[in-house]
Chain A
């Protein structure tokens, strides 16, 4: 990381921290965000010239507070009537709020950004903007939309928060599990969106958010489980593609390339999460447990496939989904053979992935003409380019054995 990158990273990390407290003091997300953004721009302009101040956090906090006061003043008397909650005392000091207050502020903001009354894509977009500190252009790139459309969506979302009075509050204990499900859903959706852009890695942003959430709620099992799932998946990322960018199947992956530190951290988190859970495991714990089985296995054949089938059965009991049923069918084929796997595919709605799995199983049974037909079916519709290349290569291999 060079000097400019390090500076940008400091401004970004500090900015998200400052934003959370400023939202509380100002009572409005839009004003707080604009103020932090102006302070960040000022920092990135002044610091390389005048040098980084001795206490960057104080500098940014005070600058953002002044900007916020200016904005509120510019809005004039009308704003005062609407905003009963402005804390002018906090805005006019140069004292930093204590860490415990900042933690509460960050939690409040997380629960607001991931409120179930907001549309799921709106939650993910706002989380990227307000909690990860990405620019609107970067959020737009991750969400596969244009910058103007994203700006509009973010404004609409912030308007809904203020007009519908979505509160800045950590939910009561009784509501916490349901609300945490929404928050963890955002973290997980961000990770699986997986559209890396030239300067943003959504997986890294999801891990960042997962770590923040886990740090703020260390005793809650669900954030620990979702972070464990992310880390155990992330640990295997280096070996999922070869040097030419092609997909490497799990069976052929170089397990020495897996990140053992991430695996160890993920396993510890999962264990901690399970210890805190009474009764039925939640979907993230089960998915993390499945990822843990893969991460622990010394080789593909030595994987505990019967245990993985059992975990998928549990997962389908609490969160049935076509993707989980499909993955279960693969695990069944490794436990009881390809024919049993094919039988397990029955009754699942066919999509490209389903056809691809069926093709693999047919090929394993030596039924190459059917395998080729199935892989052709799997190439119809929307298929990621790496997947397409991988399947076409498989098809070519099977076609020689017709």
Chain B
């Protein structure tokens, strides 16, 4: 078994706004159908609430915070699922069921195994 982080990239929206209710329901249905493969999941607030943190120089240096996401893009990181699958083919099958896959894109990243 391997683990993959499925990052959802979609329009940068407030998921709890009433107009997105139907979409959110689709995500809930996906979550229920694949509960056996999902180890963790989260929906993120819009990027307007994001803060970028950097420390200048080395550890202990000045903490510099800036407003907004790390990169401005049309599609933003809006959530993730940590999924478990036999291999990439199995992971792709699950990722293709995430509504973000047709509303935007899903990026599958294999998770490094703990040594």
Judging by beta carbons under 8 Å apart, are A169 and B89 in contact?
A: yes
Contact with B along A156-173 (1 / 0, CB 8 A): 000000011111010100
* B88 proximal to A (CB < 8 A): yes
* A82 proximal to B (CB < 8 A): yes
Tell me the complex Cα distance, A377–B38, Å. 57
- Of residues 68 through 99 on chain A, the ones whose CB sits less than 8 Å from some CB of chain B are 78, 81-82
For chain B, the bracket of interface size reads 10 to 19
Tell me the complex Cα distance, A62–B87, Å. 30
* B108 proximal to A (CB < 8 A): yes
Judging by beta carbons under 8 Å apart, are A171 and B89 in contact?
A: yes
Smallest beta-carbon distance A320→chain B, Å: 23
Closest residue to B92 on the A side, CB-wise? Answer: A117
For chain A, the bracket of interface size reads 10 to 19
Judging by beta carbons under 8 Å apart, are B89 and A167 in contact?
A: yes
Tell me the complex Cα distance, A163–B3, Å. 10
- Tell me the number of A-to-B contacts counted with CB atoms below 8 Å: 27
Cβ of B113: which chain A residues have Cβ within 8 Å of it?
82
Q: In the complex, which of the residues A78, A81, A82, A164 contacts B88, with contact meaning CB atoms closer than 8 Å?
A: A164
Judging by beta carbons under 8 Å apart, are A164 and B115 in contact?
A: no
Closest residue to A179 on the B side, CB-wise? Answer: B89
Closest residue to A162 on the B side, CB-wise? Answer: B110
Judging by beta carbons under 8 Å apart, are A167 and B115 in contact?
A: no
- Knowing A117-B88, A171-B89, the reply to whether A165 touches B110 (Cβ < 8 A) is yes
List the interface of chain A (C-beta within 8 A of B).
78, 81-82, 115, 117, 163-167, 169, 171, 175
15 example contacts (A-B, Cβ-Cβ < 8 A) are as follows: A78-B115, A82-B113, A115-B88, A117-B88, A117-B92, A163-B110, A164-B88, A165-B86, A166-B87, A166-B88, A167-B86, A169-B87, A169-B89, A171-B89, A175-B89
